[in-house]
A and B are shown apart, each in its own frame.
Chain A
Amino acid sequence: MILPLRTSPLPAASKLEVHGLDVTLAGNGHSIAVLRNVDLAVAAGELICVLGPSGCGKTTLLQVLGGFLAPTRGAVLIDGEPVTRPDPRRIFVFQERGLFPWLTAAENIGFGLEKLPRGERQARVAHYVELVGLVGFERAFPHELSGGMKQRVEVARALAMNPDVLFLDEPFGALDSITRLTLRRELLRIWEAERKTIVFVTHDIEESIQLADRIVVMSQRPATVRRVVEVDIPHPRDLSSRRYLELRDGIGAEIGLAHRV
């Protein structure tokens, strides 16, 4: 069978580059090779999905990209500079658990804006509250919000910093399938409005095809890049188009999934 996948060439000008990345983590007395020789390049304004089976090291990769974890070997460059620590120009969006429960939705969104003058801060918070559709919930605390709403607050909090890169770690994984679909559509709408570079980690093949310009398919641990697949369907994407189904089945075969349940 010929895979109907088109392997993407590396983008010409890269916002983010990963060169020969190895990560070995210390476990109970022995070390585990999590990532091996990962190379990656992401263009500015691109939405890229990192797809792989659970536990393959996708999150570890994202932590290295975000500067939370130092690689064992290799380097991550953003705008040509090596990443050594977290930086407010690049915001990491956790599953909805990363919100501060002692702050209201609006205060969470304005968390990183302390240094701005009050008026400007309020205007920015109001803008992002509206962008993510949370008008009327500004003063609610996270425990008073649904999972989907909390996720919107997280995304708004990240966007309010006006970062150039967003790292999203399975942001919709804990949500029900309807909310997940809605939030994907909203993420695309926001991305089209703001054109951030987005690295989105997921284990969901369909999610990656719905969102990404390119999909980085990872192998089992120690994870390496199996293939980078270009998603050549224009937005808005038709989930029952032939090309969509071809990509879905092709990527499924690539990571060794059967076609039947």
Chain B
Amino acid sequence: MSVRRRLEALAWPASSFAAVLAAWQLAVTASRSTTFPAPLAVARGFAELAARGVLVPYTADSLMRVLGGFLLALSAGVPVGLVMGWYPPAARALEPVVQILRPISPLAWIPVSIVLFGIGNGATVFLIFLAALFPIVVATSNGVRGVPELYLSAGRNFGLSPLALFRRVLLPAILPQVLVGLRIALGISWLVVVAAEMIAIDSGLGYLVIDARNAGKRYDLVIAAILLIGGIGLVLDLLARRVERLPRVRWGFPRSDGG
């Protein structure tokens, strides 16, 4: 891409960002609000948090909890999804359980997780595990059910053993759909960690939000923490989308560029 096209591509998000900032400033000024902070106050709040040295450790805490719960959900959800996708009886047995548990907001499990794990990392990781599990299970089992019979026939024709068929045909064939499930699960995990940290632990970005409000109604710090949470969520999603452009899986995302 040429420099000019790059600049043009940046111009649109930059201008909408500027418009939001201007509207925000205008709303605070016009309403003469004393509780809701203006953009500049939030920027100062951000600097204050950075100076206190809490931003990096809190961000790291939140990310580690997401990573832990997400990896647990991945290592449980993919095998369960594979079994459900491959063996119709397993799907018939597990489907009702999944369908009952799936629509429950992970936040409803907060009391249960505290009873089980106490206040601390265990409870938050458990909540993220629950939140991330079902999207992964559903994406994997749908992926397996959707593998074209043609690929399996071709694999068998080339003399693959069942194990080789699994490794060399089934897994690569479902990978794009599993990645979509993982991206959704990661997004939900990031939503849930913030809520969980408001209740079940005393560190992390969610704790930062609730603590800034409780200890002196510092809404400048609240908004600064919220914007940081949004920014990190965006970065996580961009990273996940980058994975979808890798050559081995790009075929499964026909509408992204290069497809």
Residues of A within 8 A of B (CB): 66, 68, 85-88, 90-92, 94, 97-98, 100-103, 111-112, 141-143, 161
Contacts and interface: CB of A to CB of B under 8 A. Distances in A.
Nearest to B248: A102
A85 B159 CA distance: 10
Nearest to B252: A101
A102 B249 contact: yes
For the complex, would chain B's binding face be called helix, strand, loop or mixed by DSSP majority? helix
Given A92-B157, A112-B159, A100 B254 contact: no
Interface of B: 148, 150-151, 153-154, 156-159, 168-169, 172-173, 175, 247-252, 254, 259
A143 B254 contact: yes
A245 to B, nearest CB: 37
Nearest to B173: A102
Contact of B157 (A86, A101, A141): A86
Contact of B154 (A87, A98, A141): A98
B162 to A, nearest CB: 13
Contact of B156 (A86, A101, A143, A161): A86
B137 to A, nearest CB: 22
7 contacts: A86-B157, A87-B157, A88-B158, A91-B157, A103-B172, A111-B168, A141-B251
Given A98-B153, A141-B250, 4 more contacts: A86-B153, A97-B150, A142-B251, A143-B250
Contacts of A91: 157-158
A91 B155 CA distance: 11
A211 to B, nearest CB: 22
Contacts of B150: 94, 97-98
B251 A92 contact: no
Chain A to chain B: the 9 pairs with minimum beta-carbon distance, closest first: A88-B159, A101-B251, A112-B158, A102-B172, A86-B157, A86-B156, A98-B154, A143-B251, A102-B248
Nearest to A115: B159
Nearest to A68: B153
A142 B150 CA distance: 15
A88 B154 contact: no
A27 B175 CA distance: 33
Contact of A100 (B157, B169, B259): B169
Contacts of A86: 153, 156-157, 159
Contacts of B156: 68, 85-86
Nearest to B172: A102
Given A68-B153, A141-B251, A143-B259, A100 B172 contact: yes
